[in-house]
Structure 1
């Protein structure tokens, strides 16, 4: 996966705060930078990548972890 510029751990958050926190992190970044998001749960796994893509960001990858969490890489759109 690409080297991330920033990282965000939302494994303890619930929807809709999962994407709110992700969006705030993306808002602070420059176009083209990569955000690594650590998330957990079926709803965030489904909604965060979909919503990021709908807002013009590139979802670069989603990697499930052994502990039930997942790593999601998002490149901020311009």
Structure 2
């Protein structure tokens, strides 16, 4: 069996998939997910498209959260790894 397409995700507290959303709902969904987490928690956000890839990381950083990583998946989507800001 070929396991080359298996992706190992980093440790996280919650994950959301916003690949079906368009801006500005991509950030709204991300912000709501972050608001539900305690400070220091890690959120994975799966997204797709040029606008979300540019806007969600920028808006997240503007809110004071840390973008730890962003990596591409084989299907053309990407995953953001975000640590919620400390209170």
Q: TM-score, normalised by structure 2?
A: 0.87
SS at structure 2 position matched to 1:77: coil
Report 1 or 2 for greater relative contact order, CA contacts < 8 Å, sequence distance ≥ 6.
1
Matching residue of 2:71: 63
Map 1:1-78 onto structure 2 (within 5 A).
2-78=10-86
SS at structure 2 position matched to 1:25: helix
Which 4+ runs in 1 deviate beyond 2 A? none
Q: What CA deviation, in whole Å up to 9, does each residue of 1:3-60 have, x standing for no partner?
A: 1100010000000000000000000000000000000000000000011011000000
The CA RMSD measured in Å over matched residues stands at: 0.9
Matching residue of 2:4: none
Q: TM-score, normalised by structure 1?
A: 0.96
Instruction: Give the aligned length.
Output: 78
Q: Higher strand fraction: Structure 1 or Structure 2?
A: 1
